[in-house]
Structure 1
């Protein structure tokens, strides 16, 4: 029997081809569950027992619940990110070669470039239009058409065994053969937007896999999907936040854009977004900044980002004493050089949450001779001083156009998040 939470995750991922779609889906889930939308440019009137959310710039969202009774303010936060490595369209179309209609695209984040070759691609994101002197933003998806970045035939390759891709030269997508076509107008028409391409002032458009997410393996033990890193943790935090009731802490899911490119933006984890929300909540509940500063020292954050499962064909690339296994539960991520924010105290705290949830916990450490990725954890911990642990579910093919994880792990992580939120 397929795990219901894994099924919900795959539906969520297919509906979220861009960070803007992820935030829109989150808002829909939260609103239908009774959460109230707040605006940053207005005064807030927060109530005990209330549930709220705030978005910033379309790509990041913070949702939170306030307990019915609070003697002192503290926060239990699950942090994740809405973005994934991909190709982002450049402002102007390419002149193309021969009779091909092409449009240049920038590489966004550390994507596995070869995985994008010979895949059927769709285009999604947002358009900003200026119509009669007024700016308006539209969420769009172009699912009626498929595009491609074709690989060079083996007969024309001088070095067949070593694929080397120059992102500027070899990875420009092909959209068609007729140069008189207007891609922006096609997007407008396909999304029933009454405007002309001349009224499109700017856009954030991303290529993404057109293939739907699916279960895999002999017993549906796997899930295959794009953007598991890190929509899986976004979905898990939302599910847990909606399902749980806080006892004493303000519970929060903080989903940030731009993690894959360093988190330094108006809506990234390094921005003012989270500190501003935390301070406004504290001031609303206690009326003084002293309460906010004290609350930070009492708070915990689970920095939730997918983890590396041991790869059976490259097991030598893993520390042999730390082999995270798929469908064996959440992973605590360690790094002595603070690429992860985990320390002994926060690792023990997460282990206790798993213990109380009846969930087995695993641990990951990179080999000393291998590079280590990072997360929003160190950024938030260093900025706010909140006790933070980096965790995630084990997966393979991280940063590929199509990734792979365990169908049983998602529900386990939701269970641990619910335990955290119920404290």
Structure 2
């Protein structure tokens, strides 16, 4: 029997431990929304759910690097977190009726949802998007709980300081507790009224998966898939709401391009993507949903975003993209949503139609200096205009504003190509 020298290979063991830790963190992020939602359903307490989930992560970090990730990591985390929550209740002497009932519950339910209204994560979204909360707080809290984003990542999505976001999330949780906000999907008559913030949350969860703000995986497929799954559930509940249809169409058309968006660790912009790698089944479904929206003829922001992506996915090559149609759709979108981020995206399309000089004049008027995408767009326009020194500064500013490894690799490459 051969003798192995693994015990003496300290660097190798350290690398294995690091890989094991990263594997645990990836699984935990993927399962976080499901875990929190099931704990909130069971115990009715968001703070307790977060604390118990954190305890389960510590337990996984202690065990899984040695034993390996279990066959059903979600079930393991749910069981462990439930036990830790019960331990916390006992230690802290909480004995109100709600927690007593939780102690008596053995949560052996199947991991998969049993139906639209019984979906724990959908109920969590509607809880966090209750009208009692300010709109910004609703979105921030749901991103934190459903998407498993750190407070810093949520703050980056809102372009506010981390301390501000931490206070906002804390206040939202306290208000849910004080107001006894119910943990449920509203009745059909109330769904439409509560829909706006829910759609915003689903859009932002998808966006975080599409281009992650942290320094982990550059694309978080589990978040894009989860956002699509929940939007499908909503579409089933509200098939005649065109904005739900539009949001689903937009997600599918962007998700269809996911496999082509990163190559060799670098982000691949739309015009450089290998369109043979796009998912034609998702594109066909997305186009069909866009046609449904056109038939209803009640335009909204998500429908317009879907239509823009339909134009992109309809073009067999980047060179034949109908940029005039894209700009016209953005013109409609700016009227409905006159935000600087929408104006920035419109400027990108204008650059293809009217040239980088016209687009740069539009970009320079936007109050987005702290937004890394503003700097990245500006850098590209300056590069195309031959203003290399200014472009280099803009690339540096864009790099300083993003931790996404694939995006950073792309920006570094483009900066290095400057003459």
User: TM tier, shorter chain?
Assistant: under 0.3
TM-score, structure 2 length as denominator?
Answer: 0.28
Q: TM-score, normalised by structure 1?
A: 0.27
Name the structure with the higher helix share: 2
Q: Give 1 or 2: higher strand fraction.
A: 1
**Larger CA Rg, structure 1 vs 2:** 2
Bigger RCO (CA 8 Å, 6+ sep): 1
